[in-house]
Amino acid sequence: MRPAAGGRRRREISLLPNHVILILLWIFAVGPLVVLAFNSVKKTAELGRNPLGFPRDIVLGNFAKAWEVGNFSTTTRNSGILVAGTVAGVLILGGMAAYSLSKLNLPGSGPLTLYLLVGTSLPIQLFLVPLFFTWKRLGLVNSLFGLILIYIAINSPFAIFLLRSYMIQLPSDFEDAARVDGASEWQVFSRIVVPLSWPGFLTVGLVVALSVWNEFLLATVFLTDQNLFTVVTSYANFATRFGRDWTLTSAAAVMMVVPVIVIFLSLQRRFVEGLTQGGLKG
């Protein structure tokens, strides 16, 4: 009814309030991080007098010192292995389960869903000791692999449900066509459903990676060999009560966060590619 040109003009004009609100939200999100970055290059004495503002003298030595004290070269490697192993495991195993729940009419899916959700609701402190007991006997304490297994188990329920919610939205035409052509369920899963739910996998991978990168309690309890410490464990060594050097702590925090932001940035591009390649953009 409305002329197309008018419609287009209306959309262009109406995007301005979007930008205004989004800029405010953006400042709310990023502002505190800017303060953190400022504090990481301040001198300790300046921080006390100027906790929020731009640094007067920029001291980059905080980073070198934090790198050395925090033993970041080792801890980054360990955290990297934990993240890679867990993400791979969760995506493969969780993706399979999500496929079964969303596309294969899994008999008994109700009780399974309930089990996984209730399992998610158990506070970890509750089963820490029995779990340690089991892992000790299996020789999986002080082993990155042992911790990866725990992380996969703990992170997969969320992954399964989120992936399921993506897969359920996929139209089943492609799958049905493939099945008629004689494809096995594994082939349908790996060649059709996985590529189509690529953004979902990416999101899950990101969420799992972050939760592993930032996990503290299990990492400190299951890895007590200092060659196996993670980034967060060694960060906690900075954040001790007394004589805390906030500039050093901030520098360590910045170093922890920067690699994650870089990875996220590079994934963002893939994220958009995934959307377009999936052919789902209407």
Partner 1 sequence: MRMRSFLKVAAVAAVALLAPAAPLLGGAPAARAQDTTKLTMWLDTTGGAETADCIRANAIDPFNALGKGISVEATMLANNWDATRTALAGGGGPDIVGTPGPSFAMQLALAGQLADLTGYADKLGWNERFSKGSLNIGMGADGKLYSLPTEVETLVLYYNTNVFKEHGWEPPKTLDEFMALVKQVKEAGLIPLAGGNAEWRPTNEWFVGEFLNHYAGPQKVYDALTGKAQWTDPEFAAAMEMLAQLQKDGDFMGGLDRYYTATDAERLSAFGDGKAAMNIEGSWFVSNAPLYFGEAAGNDDDWGWVPMPSKDGSAIYDLGVGQTYSVNAKSANPDAAAAFLDFYYSPATMARLLSECGLMPAPMSLEGQDLSKVDPRLSEIIAGLDKAYAENNYGYTTWTFWPPATETYLIENVEKVWSGDMSVADYLAGMQKQFDTDKAAGAVPPIPAR
Partner 2 sequence: MSASIDLPRVSAAEAASARRRALFRRKVVPWLFVVPVLLLNVMVVAGPAIAAVYYSMTDWNGVGPAKWVGLANFQELAADPSFRHAFRNNVAWLLMFLTVPIALSLGAASLLAPIRRGGMVYRMGIFIPYVLPSVITANLWRALLSPDRGIPAALTSLGVPGFDRAFLGAPNTVLPTIAFVDNWHWWGFLMVLFLAAMQNIPADLYESARLDGASRWQEFRDITIPGIRPTLVFMILMTAIWSFLTFDYIWILTQGGPAGASEVLSVLVFKQAFQAFRAGYASAIGLTMSILVGIIIGLFGILRRRGWEI
CA–CA separation, 205 vs 193, rounded Å? 16
Residue 76 touching partner 2 (CB under 8 A): no
Q: Of 120 and 187, which has the nearer Cβ to partner 1?
A: 187
Site for partner 1 (CB under 8 A): which residue of 225, 265, 276, 281? Answer: 225
Q: Which is nearer to partner 2, 12 or 57 (CB)?
A: 12
Q: Cβ of residue 80: shortest distance to partner 2, in angstroms?
A: 15
Which helix (H) or strand (E) segment holds residue 263: the answer is helix 246-277
The footprint of partner 1 on residues 60-99 (CB under 8 A) is 69, 81, 85, 88-89, 92
Whole-number minimum distance, CB 161 to partner 2, in Å? 6
Q: Mark 141-180 with x for binding to partner 1 (rule: CB under 8 A) and - for no binding.
A: xxxxx--x--------------------------------
Task: Candidates 18-26, 54-62, 64-72, 80-88: pick the segment binding partner 2 (CB under 8 A).
Answer: 18-26
CB of 205 to partner 2, least distance (A): 13
Q: Quote the CA–CA distance of 279 and 262 in Å, as a whole number.
A: 27
On the CB side of 197, how many CA atoms lie within 13 Å of its CA? 31
Helices vs strands, H then E, count in the chain: 15, 0
Interacting positions 229-258 with partner 1 (CB under 8 A): 233-234, 236-238, 240-244, 246
Q: Which residues of 255-273 are buried (b: 16+ CB within 10 A; e: fewer)?
A: bbeeebeeeeeebeeeeee
50 forms part of the interface with partner 1 (CB under 8 A) = no
**CB 260, CB 105: distance < 8 Å:** no
- Asked whether 250 and 40 are in contact (CB, 8 A), the reply is yes
Cβ nearer to partner 1, comparing 155 with 233: 233
Q: Write the single-letter amino acid at 92.
A: I
Is 38 a residue that touches partner 2 (CB under 8 A)?
no
* Beta carbon of residue 16, minimum distance to partner 1 (angstroms, whole number): 41
Residue 154 CB, nearest distance to partner 1 (Å)?
A: 16
Please choose, from the candidates 146, 136, 164, the residue with its C-alpha nearest in 3D space to the C-alpha of residue 89.
146
Of the pair 26, 54, the CB lying nearest partner 2 is at 26
Alpha-carbon torsion 32, 34, 36, 39, what sign? negative
**Per rule CB under 8 A, is residue 282 in the interface with partner 2?**
yes
Alpha helix (H) residue ranges in 50-107? 61-69, 72-89, 95-103
Q: Which amino acid is at 68?
A: E
Are 166 and 197 in contact by the 8 Å Cβ rule? The answer is: yes
129 is an interface residue for partner 1 by CB under 8 A = yes
* Interface residue list for partner 1 (CB under 8 A): 45, 48, 69, 81, 85, 88-89, 92, 128-130, 132-133, 135-137, 139, 141-145, 148, 184-187, 190, 216-217, 220-221, 224-227, 233-234, 236-238, 240-244, 246
